[in-house]
Structure 1
Amino acid sequence: MLTNRIPVEEFHGRWSRVQEICKERSLDALVVWSKGGGPIDMSEDVVYLANHYAVFPYCPDGPGVWSGLGAAAVVVPSTGEPTLIVGSDQWRTDNVSITDVRVSPLLPDAIVEVLRDIRATDRVGLVAGAGMTVEPYRRLLEVSPGIDWVPMDATVEQLRARKSPFEFQLLRESCEVGNAAMLAMMKTATRPGATEAEAALAAYDVVLRAGGTIIDAAIASGPNSHFYAYGQMPQWTTRTLEAGDIFNCDMYGSASEGYRWDFSRTTVTGSKPTTDQLEVIEGSIAAVEAGVSALRPGVTTGAVWDALHGVLVDRGIDIGYDIGGHSYGLAWESPWVAAGGEEVIEAGMAIAIETIAGREGVGNAKFEHNVLVHADSIELLSTSPSRPWLL
């Protein structure tokens, strides 16, 4: 749920940093577009700048009637106050951080009207790649002849990568809910006769009662454990869990102001893992712990990847999963932990370290930790038990 807990000064600081970028790039303004409508992914940039989430789901444009329904946009001029543009009057006056709010079902047209009002009609940056579909983009180009649109998709994402102390607290709160949800899921999955769907339901029950949402729960089990998610729509099935099944899940959601948790766990249903299963599961845990141990300000993402990946190779459980982690906050963000990564870890970042390990004929195990990076320490947020079958 979005509330008005975030101090308005935080938003002022965010706008100022965007304006600095506008001046550095000789931009008249930056237009930031994000979608809404339920799943919460691809909403992060407008939430970050305006504390607003569009309530309607995506709908194809109705020519001349609406364009960009289910989205919202923020126009940040190089100087002066930003403007929020929403597609309907369903916005929370008690939450939104921006004073100038305009309502129009034709978002592209309203964006250009704002740009003309502030005389920003030359070079304008556009942050829209993650959430703008082709129809409103074409409409935007059609109604803005003469404007030089400069692609700036990663601009706000790069600002989001460095969190404030208040954002750290929101991540702690969200991870508390995520930990409880993962515990409930794994307890259910450890019980023979339960289904994958019932395990997902146990997690959803915890999160919804806490006022949060699960973005998804990527579940696989038994003979299908080598899949990332066997059901796909949804990401779980109604398969009944049997004694000796590996059950794994990568679960991600949010509970405080849109800030996320994202972690993975693996259990074995009804019994202790076999020796082969234990090698895979313990190897996944050891690899992630090695990555966390390597994580500190000043190291590169590639060095963190090397620490994690080396464990998988040494133990013979590397399945070629090529992501070792990423920043997280209002979304999954850069920097990404991957082979050869040259981005440098900094204090103020929130990093998820993850892996999927496996061996043919045994199955796959998922494991993931969420941490906060301080100047002199690493704070672990994902405290859900690493070995749920021992509960």
Structure 2
Amino acid sequence: MPAFHIPDSEFAERRAKAQAMAKDMGLDALIVWSRSGHSVEAYGDLYYLTNFVSLFPCVPDRRTWSSRGHGALILPVDGDPILVTDYLDDPEDRIKVSDVRAEPDLAAGVVDVLKETGLLGGKLGMVGMMSFLVSALRRMEDHAGQRLDLTDADHILDRLRVIKSPAEIALMRRSAAVGVKWMEATMGAVIEGNTEGDAVGAGLAVLAANGGTQQDIAISSGPNAQHYMGSSGVPHWNVTRPLQTGDLVHIDQWGPVNGYYTDFARSTVVGGKPSDGQRELLDGNVALIHHIIASITPNRTTFGDLYRTGAKWLDDNGFANHKSTGDETNNFSRLFPCFGHALGLGIDGPWIVDDEDTVIAPNMTLAIEALVSKPGVGASNFEENVLVTEKGAEILTADCNSRFWA
């Protein structure tokens, strides 16, 4: 298997760009805060700049530690980066920052670095707001003995991460290829007598063997096929009900492979012979997503344009759109008015929603999706991962069968 990695020099270039953008904002430094531990939702910003994620699980604070499962990079606009982590035991020497401090009381350790570098009273940009904890802020301010001047700076990393470098595109291609194997293994176990859990387990074995881990799998079948997930508990799959011939099944799988995400969905009918209503739903779902993809014109089309293209297709072809009230079977779709999102070191923005005016540009990678339903039939889920090129869009997940039915 060939090596897939980001060159060391690229990490330095990324940090330099972030520093310049922070300086333009009048900031003295960025604090790039990240959650990882056993979860993979929010490690992307820190990983993007340092190649580091915390390996310790997220656990409640106590007197001697704080913010376990998190990490923070202090990035002065005119100085060297300092990484503060709650855990440091990496036998592979992956970290791309030379100054690394291991502090079990992470919040206090960050304040100590700010004091040491003369940044404590400065204007600080906070990156990673979805991960930053109220408990961490209180602990930091208690340790500092003063309020911190924090400015939301998430947009800096959002802008840097959305355009992929050649090395990142190679990693995205690799993730898509592994994702295809993962999906094929899962779908191959969608047979009569198996449970949803059996199908999920078959897929996870392939994913793990190919360098990936799941963030989650949304699977639903049979009498629950109108729902995005068949179980609202943990895990999100049913392990008691055997699948039956004729069951409608849809599967959405997402997670990182070597850090970069695969995220796409497929649907089918157990036994591979859909009814007329199921076939209309399944074929329509595929046609919708490929119609949206075909509408991409780089440097002209916006994310909002893609949303409106998808909504019009649904209206023109007799399917309920996100704003419909007539189809009460698809509550998820009405609560998630979206046709997908950017993709990279996570489920990233911008989102394909009606009011998003970001222009789609070459070297963006997107996940374009829709859960489509018909009353009395259920719901189908279909999603592709695409790379935006100078000419249009390349479907990275094209090697996965779109139609697992006859």
Q: What does residue 81 of structure 1 align with?
A: 80
Secondary structure at 1:143's aligned position in 2? helix
Q: What does residue 401 of structure 2 align with?
A: 385
CA distance in 2, matches of 1:102, 1:93: 17
Q: What does residue 325 of structure 2 align with?
A: none
Q: What does residue 372 of structure 2 align with?
A: 357
State the 1:146 CA deviation. Answer: 5.2
Q: What does residue 355 of structure 2 align with?
A: 340
Query: Letter of the aligned partner of 1:303 in structure 2?
Result: D
Q: What does residue 137 of structure 1 align with?
A: 137
Q: What does residue 329 of structure 1 align with?
A: 344
- Residues 1:114 and 1:93: Cα distance change in structure 2 (over 3 Å): farther
Alignment match of 1:369 (pick from 373, 384, 393): 384
Q: What does residue 246 of structure 2 align with?
A: 244
- More divergent stretch after superposition (358-367 vs 290-299): 290-299
Secondary structure at 1:388's aligned position in 2? coil
Q: What does residue 6 of structure 2 align with?
A: 6
CA distance in 2, matches of 1:358, 1:206: 30
Alignment of 1:111-122 (within 5 A): 111-120=110-119, 121-122=121-122
With structure 1 as the length reference, what TM-score do the two structures score?
Answer: 0.95
- More divergent stretch after superposition (283-292 vs 295-304): 295-304
Alignment of 1:185-264 (within 5 A): 185-189=186-190, 191-232=191-232, 233-238=234-239, 239-256=241-258, 258-264=259-265
State the 1:80 CA deviation. Answer: 2.1
Q: What does residue 174 of structure 2 align with?
A: 173
Secondary structure at 1:213's aligned position in 2? coil
State the 1:169 CA deviation. Answer: 0.4
Unaligned runs of 5+ in 1: none
Q: What does residue 47 of structure 1 align with?
A: 47
Q: What does residue 22 of structure 1 align with?
A: 22
> Is the contact between residue 319 and residue 359 of structure 1 (CA under 8 Å) also seen in structure 2?
no
Q: 1:18-43, CA deviations, whole angstroms, 9 ceiling, x for partnerless residues?
A: 10112111111000111111221111
CA distance in 2, matches of 1:342, 1:264: 26
CA distance in 1, matches of 2:147, 2:318: 58
Q: 1:66-125, CA deviations, whole angstroms, 9 ceiling, x for partnerless residues?
A: 111111111111012211111123245610000000111111221122122222231011
- More divergent stretch after superposition (264-273 vs 311-320): 311-320
- Residues 1:30 and 1:93: Cα distance change in structure 2 (over 3 Å): farther
Secondary structure at 1:366's aligned position in 2? strand
Query: Letter of the aligned partner of 2:86 in structure 1?
Result: G
Alignment of 1:255-294 (within 5 A): 255-256=257-258, 258-294=259-295
State the 1:272 CA deviation. Answer: 1.1
CA distance in 2, matches of 1:271, 1:151: 50
Secondary structure at 1:371's aligned position in 2? strand
Query: Letter of the aligned partner of 2:354 in structure 1?
Result: A
Q: What does residue 56 of structure 1 align with?
A: 56
Query: Letter of the aligned partner of 1:315 in structure 2?
Result: N
Unaligned runs of 5+ in 2: 323-332
Query: Letter of the aligned partner of 2:312 in structure 1?
Result: G
Identity value in percent: 34
State the 1:319 CA deviation. Answer: 5.1
Aligned length: 385
Runs of 4+ in 1 over 6 A off after TM superposition: none
Q: 1:197-241, CA deviations, whole angstroms, 9 ceiling, x for partnerless residues?
A: 111011101101112111111000011011111223111111211
Q: 1:158-207, CA deviations, whole angstroms, 9 ceiling, x for partnerless residues?
A: 21111101100001001111101111111211x21111111101110110
